[in-house]
Structures are given as structure tokens and as C-alpha cells.
């Protein structure tokens, strides 16, 4: 991947109102589970809300709301859009 | 499971995502029609019901709500195995019309399995309000099966659903042209190579569709399928090579590529068959506003606690009224039977065994019903998922899931329904931890014990002592949760991946059904465990019948009766009767067991009477105070009981007894609930051993500290 503009941003780094495009999902059981929930390469995802203690957070993906802990959201690499 | 059903009964399985309205459709279909039979749900086995439609018997099967058929969770595995091995005649795939992108993921897997299926575009009204319009006829050809628009809550389209099921099960109906989910060229080539190998190994056994499905499952690394094909070494090797090569060339595994391919297929399909209006509908705006308040970073938690308090408060204050009515009903029945039946052992068994035990438990029915009303309300509206979201961080510190809050709070009322409420937690590990720690919550049945001891030994600080017990119960529950999550239940990590469903107005019917189902479960338990337990305790207490008393009480009483009536005579009579009852109990099997077990409590200095009280408390915690009343031959309400026991222990022992009574064992009803929710006697055994060990050790420490300090 030569794109110079691309930083290693994970889903957990997404700021309020920011959105991104999924580049890569971790290749483990959780990653496969996340992929089944719609977090596949190319999907657009944005941050909706954060829980009282900053974790978990709610993301908008494929037209619905998905709640993930930050440690799990780190399994998803994004390209900011 | 095999069922004794008549020939030509059609098996129709319902499958779909959680929150897709699947269970509402099942209940609606099952209840609107005359039910021919009812097979209540046992643990996680699918719910089934035999119904009749247009003269045809249909066995409806409600499979657990799942997002995928990859067999990653027990629910997914149950769903997949049912469809794969039981081969239902028709699968009804319930889709959330407002959320087709994700709903159709499961559909792509059903398409590949090649089962005859019908697609229900459920909550069609909600989707329309969201500004979504769907080209239903176009979907029919793209999905390869009938597509029916339904609204589960109003019942719209449900008849058409069954009509379609009958039609596609009819051999005369020409099959729908089969469709296939296409993947990128490299994956397709790999599928084809594996498929060729499969057809060589299983010649003539499989259709093209079946071998393609098997090839895809193998390439996806499905452990179970791989084991099943284990005898074909060359196939396993080939699959392994294909997977490794693919990963090398694509920088992603086959699993991820298949998921991306499925979502690609769905994307293409929806581009053609769906249009979404650009403007945000009012309803969606409203939902966002409501979430702005309920999920607010500062207000969210206080609101949640407030709602929990309302639920708790209503359950026990409002519940008290019907409880009183039931109680007086039980009393009236007991009085009536007492009047009618001639004095006999049977009468005694009925009144003091069965009616006392069953009646004593059934009074909790109103509390159970009200609790489940609130739970149904919270889960149907979508608030439970939000509560879990708000609390997950906090609960995670204790190795628990956000949703564990509800059972823990409910445990302050009654442990048995609280453990039933762990069902709302999806992950098996979190569910087991929660059911194991919920019994530590100081339920309302333990309150009288705490009040008796606090009043008898710590009268100046009785309130604080009871409050300390409440605190100790939550501390023990959370502490044990940390311990379990770091030791016995460590091996199965469970991430928190939870869909936040949109807010929905609950249908009264669904809420009532939920209440009824849980009330029925509770009554069933009363009719089995409690009934048997009460009878056993009664027998132990009443036998042996022939007891050699230390003095002839009856003769003494008869003699007293002949004396002129006076206050002295009455009190002497009471004294003698009480003395006789005490001796009878002491020499009964229960008394003997108490004396035999008493050495266990010797280090704490508890006597045999305390032992008997502890033992009877296993049936139901209320029995502890009742036993003391019988043992000290005092009426339950009287101040006498407090003064009678106040001299028997020192304060440290009394405190130790309170702690012991708080923690020592789940009652029978709770044990039954743990068995049901945790799914095995192994966990019941663990729970019993752990809580007994913990209670005993703590009590011993307290008594010894008392010796040193006091």
C-alpha cells in the first residue's frame, strides 16, 4: 500500500462525527465476527456516540448502529474520508 | 429430537437476526391459530409448535436469532445444524426491511445451503416510514424464493407467509430458478477446484449446489465441517493449500474475502431493488433525540439507575397487594381443608407440608409477573441494549457483561427470576458467571432472617446491620465475578459486539406473552422442585411417629385441662405444648440430621437448632425464621423469638450467622434456575460448593476475630 496520505487509523481512533472506509479487519475470530456484522473492506463507518466512561462506543455501519469496545474496535483499520 | 407427528406434517423453521421480529411472528402464528400441541422450550433447544393452516398441519420451529450461519456461537451452530441436518421442508427467513444490508448476510448463506425458503420483509411499515421503498418482485428473482411483505405486530402478511410455505412445499410447484452468490475470480477458481475434488470423493451423492456449499464451508475454515471430512486426507490437504495460497496473494484470509464477497452481492442487489429517500424522516430524528437524552454522557447513568429503582420499587410495593390476596387465599384454603379433613397424617402432610411449602412460594408470583412486565417492556423497546451499552465499562471491570446489571438488581428481589433474566445476555460465559454470582444478592426472603438476628443481637444498630448485609451481598457478587472470570471461566473470551436496535413501541400482546411465559415457568417450578422439597422436609420433621418423650406431656396436659380455668393454667399449657413440640422436633429425623451435621458448625459455635434452621433454609430462605419459631416454640411475630435466641450466641457469632445465612446456598428454586440457565448440573455443583465454602470460611473468620477482639 503506497498511499502516502494513509495513516494507520483504527476504528477506535475515529473522532465524533468522523467517518472512514474499512481497509482491513484483523484475521482472527473477532475480526471474522466483525466482518459478518458488516465491517468488511470497503464499508463506510462513522462514530455516533460514546458511553459515559469513553468506552464502548456506537458506530453507524450498513445503516444500523453497532456498539463495540475500544479494544475490539482496534481490530479494524480505516482510511479516513 | 423426534416427534410423534402425523404424516404430511410440514416442518417450517423461522430464522433471522436478533431484533428482526422473528419471535413476534412465531408467537403470532402460534397463537392466532388453534394450537394442536405445545412443546415448551427447554434450555436452548428450539421452540416448536404444531399449528394448522388451510387444513394442513405445520410444525413451526423458532430457531435462535443469529447474524450468520458460521457456527461461531452455540446459537449459530444450533441454527445451522437444524437447517442442515433436520432439513425442514421450508425455511422462513425473517428480514428487517429497514436494515436489509445486514439482514441479507444470513440470506446469502441460506442461498448457498440451497434450502427451500421464503423471505419475509418484516417491519415493512417501519421501513416505509424511514423513506425506504423496496422493489419486492425484483427481490423474488434475485433471492430465488418468494418474498412477502409483513408487519409482525399487526399480523399483516402472515397468512400469505404460510400460504407461500404450503405452495413451495407442494411437489407440484415448479422450483424457483436457483441463484448463486458470486465471488471474485480467485475465490471462484478455488471453490471450483475444491468442488471437483469433492465430487470425486462423493460421486453421485451431492447436487452441484451441495458440493459448492461444502467447498465454500471448507474454504471458510469451518472447523466442524473439516472434522466431518477428516477421513478424506487429500481433500483436507488441498483445502489447506488453497487457503494458504489465497492468503499469501490477497493479504486477507478466505473468511474475510467471503464476508466481503457476500456484502458485495448484497450491495449490488440493493442498488437495484431498493431506493432510500435522501431526507431524514421525523421518526429517525426523534430516535436520535431520545438517544441524546438516554445515552447522554452525564445523564445516561442516573436515568438508568432511576428506571431500575422504579422497576424494583414497583415490583415489591405493587406486588405486595396481590401477594396479600394470595396469602389470604392460601390461608383460607388451609383453614377450609383443616375444617373438612379428619385429623390424620394426610391432613398434616397437606396442610403443613404441601400447602405451607407451595403456598409460601406461590406468594412470590405477583413479584415475578411484575418484574417480567418491566423486563419485557425494556427489552421490547430496545432500552436493555442501551442500558448494557451505558454500563458495559463498569461491569467489564468485574468480568461481567453490561447486561448483567438487570439480573443483579433483580436478585435483591428474588434470585430465581433474576437468574431467568440472564437469558438476555447472549454470551454463554457471561451468562454463566452472572447466574453463579446472582444468588449472593440478598433476596427478600433473606430479609426476615437478617431482621431477626439484627434485632436480637444488635438492636441499637439493627438498621445499619441489615444495610451492611445488603452491601456485603453486592461486594461478594462482584468479587466472585472477578474471581470466576480470572479462573474457572477464563478460557472463553467474549467481545462486546452488540447491535443497538431502533426504538420500537412494544405491542401489548408481546409484553403479555412474555409475562405469561415466565409466570408459567415459575409455576412449573413451584409444582415440581418446591412441592417435592416441602414434602421431604415435612416427612423428616414428622417422622419417626413413635417418640419416647422424657415425660408424659399428654397426661400432664389432660390433667391441666381438668383444673379450673386460670391465667396460670393457660400459660402452663402453652409451656408444656411448646416443650413437647421442641422435644418432638429434636427427636425427629430432621432433628437427628441437625445433630449429625452440627459438628460442621462446631467451630463457629452454632448449635443443632441453628443447623436445622440452616438446613431448612435450603428449601426456601423464608424457612429459616419459620424453623427458629418452631424450634424455640415461639410464634414468628412475637418479640419472644428475638429474646429467646438473643442469649444463644455472642455478637460475633450472631454476625457470623448472618453472613453465613446470606451467602451459604442458593435455595431450591434458585438451584433449579441455575440448572436451567447454565445448562448443566456441573455448574450447580460448583455454585453449591463455592458458596458453602465461602460462607463457612467467612463465618469462621468472623467468629475468631470476635474471640480476639471482644
Q: Is B359 exposed, middle or buried (0-12, 13-18, 19+ CB in 10 A)?
A: buried
- Residue from A67, A72, A76 whose CB has the most chain B CBs within 10 Å, to mutate: A67
The answer on pLDDT for B15 being more than 90 is: yes
Binned at pLDDT 50, 70 and 90, residue A3 comes out as very low
pLDDT recorded at residue B274: 95
pLDDT recorded at residue B434: 93
Asked if the structure places residue A17 within a domain, the reply is yes
Residue of B nearest to A24 (CA): B252
Q: Residue A58: which CATH number? A: 2.30.30.90
The answer on pLDDT for B429 being more than 70 is: yes
Q: What average pLDDT does the segment B333-360 reach? A: 81
Binned at pLDDT 50, 70 and 90, residue A14 comes out as very high
pLDDT recorded at residue B414: 77
Q: Is B612 exposed, middle or buried (0-12, 13-18, 19+ CB in 10 A)?
A: buried
Q: Do A42 and B260 touch (CB under 8 A)?
A: yes
Considering chain B, what is the average pLDDT of its residues?
A: 85
Question: What is the count of residue pairs from A and B with beta carbons less than 8 Å apart?
Answer: 114
pLDDT recorded at residue B584: 81
Q: Which of A66-75, B280-289, B546-555 has the lowest mean pLDDT?
A: B546-555
**CA-CA distances (angstroms) from residue B452 to B274, B361, B645?**
67, 20, 9
Binned at pLDDT 50, 70 and 90, residue B437 comes out as very high
Helix (H) or strand (E) holding B38: strand B37-39
Asked if the structure places residue B83 within a domain, the reply is yes
Residue of A nearest to B270 (CA): A62
Nearest CA distance, A11 vs chain B (angstrom): 14
Q: What average pLDDT does the segment B478-499 reach? A: 83
Could you say which of A35, A37, A58 has the minimum Cβ distance to residue B256?
A: A35
Cell numbers given for B576: 408444656
**B56-62 and B47-53 as β-strands: parallel, antiparallel, unpaired?**
antiparallel
The pLDDT tens digits for B566-625 are 888 888 887 888 788 778 878 888 888 888 999 999 999 898 888 988 988 887 787 787
DSSP one-letter string for B195-257: HHHHHHHSTTTS-HHHHHHHHHHHHTT-HHHHHHTTT-HHHHHHHHHHHHHHHHHHSS-HHHH
**Other Cβ atoms closer than 10 A to B298:** 7
pLDDT recorded at residue A1: 42
Q: What average pLDDT does the segment B633-641 reach? A: 58
pLDDT recorded at residue B206: 84
Residue numbers of the domain that contains B87: 10-169
Q: What average pLDDT does the segment A18-41 reach? A: 93
- Residue from B393, B503, B504 whose CB has the most chain A CBs within 10 Å, to mutate: B393
d(CA B574, CA A55): 65
Judge if B156 and B215 occupy the same domain.
no
Binned at pLDDT 50, 70 and 90, residue B42 comes out as very low
Judge if B242 and B143 occupy the same domain.
no
Cell numbers given for B111: 442461498
Could you say which of A25, A53, A66 has the minimum Cβ distance to residue B499?
A: A66
The answer on pLDDT for B375 being more than 80 is: no
**B673 bridge partner residues:** none
Binned at pLDDT 50, 70 and 90, residue A6 comes out as low
Judge if B163 and B15 occupy the same domain.
yes
pLDDT recorded at residue B633: 58
Q: What average pLDDT does the segment B30-50 reach? A: 53
Asked if the structure places residue A4 within a domain, the reply is no
Q: Residue B130: which CATH number? A: 3.40.50.300
Residue numbers of the domain that contains A32: 9-80
The pLDDT tens digits for B676-689 are 888 789 999 999 99
The answer on pLDDT for A38 being more than 60 is: yes
The answer on pLDDT for B170 being more than 50 is: yes
Binned at pLDDT 50, 70 and 90, residue B360 comes out as low
Asked if the structure places residue B64 within a domain, the reply is yes
**Other Cβ atoms closer than 10 A to B16:** 27
Reported ipTM: 0.93
Judge if B196 and B157 occupy the same domain.
no
Binned at pLDDT 50, 70 and 90, residue A7 comes out as low
Judge contact between B254 and B187, C-beta under 8 A: yes
Asked if the structure places residue A3 within a domain, the reply is no
The pLDDT tens digits for B267-299 are 999 999 999 988 878 888 899 999 999 999 999
Asked if the structure places residue B216 within a domain, the reply is yes
The answer to whether B69 faces chain A, any CB pair under 8 Å, is no
Rg (alpha carbons) of chain A, rounded to whole number = 12
Binned at pLDDT 50, 70 and 90, residue B658 comes out as very high
Judge if B163 and B215 occupy the same domain.
no
Phi, then psi, of B275 in degrees rounded to 5: -125, 135
Asked if the structure places residue A49 within a domain, the reply is yes
Judge if B145 and B203 occupy the same domain.
no
Cell numbers given for B403: 447486561
Considering chain A, what is the average pLDDT of its residues?
A: 89
Cell numbers given for B438: 446472582
Residue of A nearest to B292 (CA): A49
Among B353-362, B388-397, B551-560, B563-572, top mean pLDDT goes to B388-397
Asked if the structure places residue A73 within a domain, the reply is yes
Q: Do A63 and B259 touch (CB under 8 A)?
A: no
What total of structural domains would you count in chain B? 3
d(CA A2, CA B274): 36
What total of structural domains would you count in chain A? 1
Q: Which residues of A touch B (CB under 8 A)?
A: 24-25, 27, 29-38, 40-43, 49-56, 58, 62-69, 72
Q: Do B495 and A53 touch (CB under 8 A)?
A: no
Helix (H) or strand (E) holding B412: none
Among B100-104, B339-343, B647-651, top mean pLDDT goes to B100-104
Judge if B87 and B234 occupy the same domain.
no
The pLDDT tens digits for B100-125 are 999 999 999 999 998 899 999 999 99
Binned at pLDDT 50, 70 and 90, residue B171 comes out as confident
Q: Which of A21-30, B72-81, B115-124 has the lowest mean pLDDT?
A: B72-81
Amino acid at each position: 500500500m503506497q498511499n502516502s496520505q494513509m495513516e494507520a487509523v483504527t476504528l477506535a481512533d475515529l473522532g465524533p462525527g468522523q467517518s472512514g472506509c474499512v481497509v482491513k479487519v484483523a484475521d482472527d475470530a473477532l475480526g471474522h465476527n466483525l466482518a459478518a456484522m458488516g465491517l468488511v473492506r470497503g464499508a463506510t463507518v462513522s462514530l455516533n456516540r460514546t458511553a459515559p466512561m469513553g468506552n464502548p462506543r456506537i458506530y453507524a455501519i450498513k445503516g444500523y448502529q453497532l456498539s463495540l469496545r475500544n479494544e475490539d474496535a482496534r481490530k479494524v483499520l480505516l482510511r479516513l474520508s | 429430537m423426534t416427534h410423534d407427528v402425523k404424516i404430511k406434517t410440514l416442518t417450517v423453521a423461522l430464522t433471522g437476526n436478533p431484533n428482526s421480529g422473528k419471535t413476534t411472528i412465531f408467537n403470532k402464528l402460534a397463537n392466532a391459530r388453534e394450537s394442536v400441541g405445545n412443546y415448551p422450550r427447554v434450555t436452548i433447544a428450539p421452540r416448536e409448535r404444531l399449528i394448522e393452516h388451510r387444513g394442513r398441519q405445520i410444525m413451526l420451529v423458532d430457531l435462535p436469532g443469529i447474524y450468520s450461519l458460521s457456527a461461531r456461537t452455540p446459537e449459530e451452530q444450533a441454527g445451522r445444524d437444524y437447517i442442515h441436518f433436520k432439513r425442514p421442508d421450508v425455511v422462513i427467513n425473517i428480514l428487517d426491511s429497514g436494515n436489509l444490508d445486514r439482514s441479507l448476510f444470513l440470506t446469502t448463506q441460506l442461498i448457498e445451503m440451497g434450502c427451500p425458503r421464503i423471505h419475509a420483509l418484516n417491519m415493512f411499515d417501519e421501513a416505509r416510514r424511514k423513506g425506504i421503498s423496496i422493489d419486492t418482485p425484483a427481490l423474488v428473482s434475485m433471492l430465488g424464493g418468494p418474498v412477502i411483505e409483513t408487519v409482525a405486530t399487526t399480523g399483516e402478511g402472515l397468512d400469505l407467509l404460510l400460504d407461500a410455505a404450503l405452495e413451495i412445499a407442494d411437489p407440484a410447484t415448479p422450483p424457483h430458478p436457483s441463484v448463486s452468490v458470486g465471488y471474485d475470480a480467485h475465490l471462484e477458481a478455488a471453490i471450483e477446484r475444491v468442488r471437483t475434488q469433492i465430487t470425486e470423493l462423493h460421486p453421485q451423492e451431492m447436487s452441484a449446489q451441495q458440493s459448492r456449499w461444502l467447498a465454500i464451508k471448507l474454504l471458510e475454515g469451518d472447523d466442524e465441517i473439516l472434522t466431518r471430512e477428516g477421513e478424506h486426507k487429500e481433500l483436507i490437504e488441498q483445502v489447506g493449500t488453497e487457503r494458504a495460497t489465497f492468503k499469501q496473494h490477497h493479504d486477507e484470509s478466505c473468511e474475510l474475502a467471503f464476508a466481503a464477497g457476500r456484502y458485495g452481492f448484497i450491495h449490488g442487489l440493493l442498488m437495484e431493488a431498493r431506493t432510500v429517500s435522501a431526507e431524514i424522516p421525523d421518526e429517525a430524528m426523534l430516535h436520535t433525540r431520545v438517544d441524546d437524552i438516554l445515552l447522554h454522557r452525564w445523564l445516561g447513568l442516573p436515568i438508568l439507575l432511576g428506571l431500575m429503582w422504579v422497576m424494583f420499587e414497583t415490583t415489591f410495593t405493587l406486588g405486595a397487594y396481590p401477594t396479600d390476596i394470595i396469602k389470604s387465599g392460601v390461608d383460607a384454603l388451609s383453614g377450609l381443608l383443616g375444617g373438612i379433613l379428619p385429623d390424620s397424617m394426610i391432613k398434616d402432610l397437606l396442610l403443613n407440608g404441601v400447602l405451607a411449602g407451595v403456598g409460601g412460594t406461590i406468594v412470590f408470583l405477583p413479584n415475578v409477573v411484575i418484574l417480567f412486565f418491566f423486563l419485557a417492556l425494556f427489552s421490547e423497546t430496545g432500552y436493555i441494549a442501551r442500558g448494557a451499552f451505558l454500563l458495559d465499562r463498569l461491569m467489564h471491570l468485574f468480568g461481567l457483561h453490561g447486561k448483567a446489571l438487570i439480573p443483579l438488581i433483580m436478585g435483591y428481589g428474588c434470585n430465581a427470576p433474576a437468574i431467568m433474566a440472564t437469558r438476555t445476555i447472549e454470551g454463554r460465559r457471561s451468562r454463566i458467571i452472572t447466574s453463579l454470582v446472582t444468588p449472593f444478592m440478598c433476596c427478600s426472603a433473606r430479609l426476615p432472617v437478617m431482621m431477626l438476628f439484627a434485632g436480637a443481637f444488635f438492636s441499637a444498630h439493627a438498621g445499619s446491620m441489615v444495610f451492611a448485609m445488603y452491601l456485603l451481598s453486592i461486594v461478594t457478587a462482584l468479587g466472585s465475578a472477578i474471581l470466576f472470570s480470572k479462573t474457572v471461566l477464563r478460557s472463553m473470551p467474549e467481545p462486546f459486539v452488540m447491535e443497538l436496535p431502533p426504538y420500537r413501541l412494544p405491542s401489548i400482546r408481546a409484553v403479555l406473552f412474555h409475562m405469561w411465559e415466565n409466570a408459567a415457568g415459575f409455576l412449573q417450578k413451584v409444582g415440581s422442585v418446591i412441592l417435592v422439597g416441602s414434602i421431604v422436609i415435612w416427612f423428616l420433621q414428622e417422622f419417626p411417629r413413635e417418640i419416647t418423650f422424657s415425660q408424659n406431656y399428654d397426661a400432664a396436659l389432660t390433667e391441666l385441662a381438668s383444673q379450673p380455668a386460670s391465667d396460670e393454667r393457660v400459660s402452663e399449657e402453652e409451656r408444656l405444648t411448646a416443650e413437647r413440640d421442641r422435644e418432638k422436633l429434636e427427636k425427629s429425623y430432621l432433628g437427628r440430621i441437625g445433630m449429625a451435621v452440627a459438628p460442621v458448625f462446631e467451630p463457629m459455635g452454632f448449635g443443632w437448632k441453628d443447623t436445622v434452621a440452616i438446613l431448612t433454609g435450603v428449601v426456601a430462605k423464608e424457612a429459616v425464621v419459620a424453623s427458629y419459631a418452631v424450634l424455640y416454640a415461639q410464634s414468628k411475630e412475637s418479640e419472644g423469638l428475638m429474646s429467646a435466641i438473643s442469649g444463644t450466641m455472642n455478637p460475633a457469632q450472631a454476625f457470623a450467622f448472618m453472613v453465613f445465612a446470606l451467602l451459604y446456598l442458593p435455595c431450591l428454586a434458585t438451584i433449579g434456575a441455575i440448572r436451567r440457565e447454565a445448562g448443566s448440573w456441573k455448574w450447580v455443583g460448583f455454585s453449591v460448593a463455592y458458596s458453602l465454602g465461602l460462607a463457612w470460611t467467612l463465618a469462621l473468620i468472623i467468629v475468631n476475630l470476635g474471640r480476639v477482639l471482644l
